[in-house]
Amino acid sequence: MERKVLNNKVKFCVGCKEVVIKLSDKELQDLRNHTNYNFTKGVARTTLTFGELYNFGLYAFLDYDLKKSPSKAARVKKQFPYHEYDRIFWYLQ
């Protein structure tokens, strides 16, 4: 079985808390699809290097698109509990 190529470093941050995880190209595209479109109006989704997610969008991404990577999801969930934050920002490094 081939290993997944994780060539995208993404930083999730709110206030002074931040988590960096590595994503594959497919996972990055899924993250872009969960991004709040009003925040990035006028920019093509395929080229986004930053974005904003509502907390339910982040948890949907973690639970459904990263279901094969539970350790990544657990790190983000631990840092950003569901009821503490409304919006979470991400940046491609």
pLDDT of residue 81: 87
Give the residue extent of every domain in the chain: 8-92
Nearest 5 degrees, angle CA 42-CA 44-CA 49?
100
pLDDT band, residue 1 (cuts 50/70/90): low
Tell which residue, 56, 40, 49, 52, has the closest CA to residue 88: 52
Q: What would the mean pLDDT of 24-45 be, rounded to a whole number?
A: 84
**Which two three-digit tokens encode residue 7?**
């060539």
